[in-house]
Each structure stands twice: as structure tokens, then as C-alpha cells.
Chains A and B, each alone.
Chain A
Amino acid sequence: MQLELRFWRVKPSLLIGCLAALSAVACGGAADIPDTPDLRGLIRDYEAPTASLDATSAAQTLHGAPALDELSTGFLAAQNVLDSDVNQASKTSSGSTGSRIRLQGSIGLQIRCPGEASQPNLDESVNGSISITLAIADTKIRRSFGGDAKHCALQGTRAGRTVRVELDGQVAFDLGNDIGIGQRWSGKLLASLPGTLTVDGHEFRSISGLLSDGVFQYLVNVDSGTVVLQLGGDDVITVRDGNGTWFCREGEPCAMQ
């Protein structure tokens, strides 16, 4: 009986300390979910531009914009690289999941860029690389992710010929929606490139672009707000403002439709 009493003679503070330490250990174990770039403002700007234009200012906006076909080439090249790699990451992680499993954490992708030649050269010292980090929460790849490009050379196609596309500096992407592990990406891509994008020798700095269903859109800041330029067929470029869409053709005045 004496021994029993000794056994139970434990300092309450020590007991509480031990229990607290135990619970702290017990609550650990879940992998950290990395922060993702906040592109909500940019997404809003693309969805609902704010400027109010007339035919003249729409034409002026168009004339002041960079060559959209060059930009489109650069963004399509980036999309092609991400297309296979994001889907590969989703597929790689799917082995750990089931309908009753919750997955979270991070997936780092280190992409050795292939260069512009028809035969890929995966030497990083020649064609650079991109590192991106995907955030996984509730068994889904979060739609936004960021990374860093180091003189990443890609192959682009412009007017039927192969051109060099190079990404350098920070990159941030949005895939349109979260992707379930094991599912494929729809291909919608919003990119924010605070660094540089070089297409066929032309350098663009601190730009963004949206690729959706193979159509390229470009956001322009004007005095009265934002507008979105979009490449259409038959040499038509549309200018979308807060009131509607202007259709502009080379040599003709823009018209609201």
C-alpha cells in the first residue's frame, strides 16, 4: 500500500508538463502546406477589367501594347512545359491516395529546360531550369503556385518557325482551379512574370498573361483602369473594358459589339 501511495505522489505541475509535451508530439506529423502566391487581384482584373474606353482610346491602347503574337508564343511555350510536369506531379502523388485518405504537404518540381532546338538538351548550364513548389491541401493541388526560373530556354513557334523563349526570375501561376491528386489539369493558365520573358530576342518585363482554351489574353493598365487584349481569328484583336468588348482590325477603327 505504501508503494501505491508513492506511485501516485507526482507533482501536478510535472504531470501537466508531461501531458502538454505528449499532446504537442501527438498533434504533430502533418506536412506543412507551403504559402502560395496571391493572384486573386490579377484574376479579378482579367475577369472584370475596369477601364471605360471609346473607339479612339481602344485603338490607342492597342497601338501601345506589345506584340501579342510574340507574347502568346512565350506563354504557350511555358504552358507546354507545365502541362506535362503538373500532370506528372499529380500522377506521381496519386499512388498515396484513396477516397478515405487526406493528403497534404508540398511537391517541388525541378524542371530542366529543353532549349529551343528540336532535340532537347537537358543540361542546366546550357538551357537553365525552373523550380516551382506546388501546395497540396485536402488531397488537391492548390491552383496557385510560384517558383523561380533561371534562364530557362524553351522552344516556341511563331509564324511557322521555331523561336527561342527564355524565362528568367520569379514566376507565379494560377491553374484556374484546384486539381485533385491524380486528375489532369484543364490547361487554363494565368501567369505573372515579375522577371523577364524573352521571345525571339524581344524582352518583356513584369508582365502577365492568361491562356484559356488556347486563346491568349493580356492585361493592360490604362489611365482609367484595366483592359484585357485578346488575340482573335482573322487578324482581329479584341479589347475588353468595363463596358464591353471592342473589336479592332488592322487599318480599321475599333467597334463595340
Chain B
Amino acid sequence: MRNAVSLAACALLLAWGATARAQQLENPRTDYTAYTRQKGKLTVGLLKTDLGIIDEITIGTYPLPWFAFPVLKSTIPNVYAKARTPWKGPFTAAVGGSFMFIDGKAIAQLANKSASASAVSTTAEFDASYRFDFPLTLSLGFDYAHLRAVGSKNDEATSIEGASSGHTYSVRALGEWRLSRVFALSLLFRYLIYQSPIEIDSSSTDGALTVTSNLSAESTIQKHFTLVPGVSFEWERWELNAGVGYGVFYLPALGLASAKSWPVADLAFGYRFDVYH
């Protein structure tokens, strides 16, 4: 009897491991990992939508900023892409990048009404993922984000006419332990290596005085660590990754880091379907 129970337990573990592993291979998580969407697979979500052009290349966008017009009086176009290594095996590497343009009208709505600069955000990432024999995946990544604001020469004299820029370097590690075909536990760790001072070049004219400044601003209390435990659900069509943790908060899509530590929520969900094979 005891042997039978042991055998059954062993079979159950093997079956669980096999199904979990299958899910890892079919629909691996693409956030914070080196994995990409399978060819022809489109995942539509409010926070993120992407398409596997081929197995190794995924392109996508963050839909919400596109629909920011009612709030920001302007839409925010953005796109990202990721390409992974073509080989099969436990180790996968990838490079990715994104581009976002924020019109001056949107910045004026977000911040100073008199500001008229537009902003360009670019990010780059390097990822490496290793799939262990048991259903555990470990991913390491390096992120770079650059934000540059460029003003217009035709602005009002008191508005920002120069440029602002800042860049952020961070590394991260994501461990995902798939407990079943549907459910996985995850732990995301991020470390902010460096966030540059924000450079602000501006010029203003008021009567007899023209003030031209070349200044940089940086936080005196910059925090570095973020830890986000979470869960991941992978259904037939739906996927959901959610986590709540604490630490430095990274602005979605822009990649800029908060100076203080905050409660951090990490959320991604989408509906998957095949566009082509």
C-alpha cells in the first residue's frame, strides 16, 4: 500500500512537472524574461499588446497611452520590440528596445501649463533566461532608459526652450516557479544601479532680463531596491501576471525610477489568439 501511494505521488509529480514544463515552453512569460511570443500569436491587453512576428521577434505597444487624448489632449505613440536567440535549449538571450514620443501638449497637461517641450523616451534591455529541468525559470536582465525633452524655438518667451534629459540603469532577476499548467509563483528583484541627474536647459526672457540656465537635478535620497512577489496564470487564451511588493517604482514604458520606495504593483494581462501560423 505504501509503495502504491509513493508510486502515485511520484507519477503525480511527474505529470505536474510535465504539464507545467509544457506551458513554460508553449506560452512562456515575456515580461522580464528573454522569451518572445510564438510566431503569429497576438496578445491583446489594455496595458500591453504584442505580436510574435516570427518565433524570435516580438513587437508590441502599450495601448493606454494611445488613448490618453481625453486626459492629456494628445495621444502618446509608442512601440517596442524584442528579439531572442534562435537556438533551442535551456538558455535563451534577448535584446529589446522601445520608443515613445510625448507631445508638448501632454507634458503641459501633466506638469507646468507653460511648458512646451516634447519628450522622447527610449529604452533598451538585455535579457537572459535559463529554464531548469524542474519547472523553474530564472531570468536576469539589464535595463537602460533614456528620456529627453526637446523644446520648440517658437514658444512663448517664458517657456522651456532647451532640453531636459536623464538616463537610468538597472538590473533585475525574475524567478518563476510553475506549480501547474495554469499557475506559477514569481519573485521579481530589481536593483537601480544609477539614475542620472535630470539635466534641464532652459531660457526665459522677462523684460530687461534673459535667464539661461544649464542645471541638473538629482535626488538626495535615491533608493535602489525593489522586491515584488507575484503570481502568474496562463489559461488557454488568457494570461495574467500580478505582483505586489515594495521598493523603487519604475514608470511604466518610460523606465524612470522613483527616488523613494513605494508599494509597487506589477500587473499584466491579455487575451491570446493566433493571427497566422
Residues of A within 8 A of B (CB): 1, 3-4, 7, 22, 25-32, 84-85, 88-89, 92-93, 95-97, 100-114, 120, 122, 136
Contacts and interface: CB of A to CB of B under 8 A. Distances in A.
B212 A29 contact: no
Given A3-B87, A3-B91, A29-B167, A105 B213 contact: yes
A32 B212 CA distance: 14
Contacts of A136: 215
A89 B217 contact: no
Interface in B20-56: none
Nearest to B130: A4
Interface residues of B, number: 33
For the complex of A and B, 3 pairs with smallest distance between CB atoms: A29-B196, A105-B215, A31-B216
- Classify the interface of chain B: helix, strand, loop or mixed: strand
B216 A103 contact: yes
A26 B194 contact: yes
Interface of B: 85, 87, 89, 91, 93, 112, 166-167, 169, 193-194, 196-197, 199-200, 204, 206-221, 259
A139 B217 CA distance: 9
Nearest to B203: A108
Nearest to A81: B208
Given A7-B91, A26-B169, A88 B196 contact: no
Contact of B217 (A7, A32, A103, A122): A103
A26 B219 CA distance: 15
Contacts, number: 101
A102 B196 contact: no
Given A7-B91, A26-B194, A31 B210 contact: no
A29 B199 contact: yes
Contacts of B169: 22, 26
11 contacts: A4-B91, A29-B216, A30-B197, A31-B214, A32-B214, A89-B211, A103-B217, A104-B197, A104-B216, A113-B208, A122-B208
A111 B206 CA distance: 10
A102 to B, nearest CB: 5
A25 B195 CA distance: 11
B87 A109 contact: no
B275 to A, nearest CB: 30
Given A26-B193, A29-B197, A29-B199, A111 B209 contact: yes
A105 to B, nearest CB: 4
Contacts of A120: 208
A25 B196 CA distance: 9
Contacts of B87: 3
Contact of A101 (B93, B212, B214, B217): B217
Nearest to A22: B169
A4 B128 CA distance: 11
Q: Counting chain A CB atoms within 10 Å of each CB, which of B169, B194, B206, B208 scores highest?
A: B208
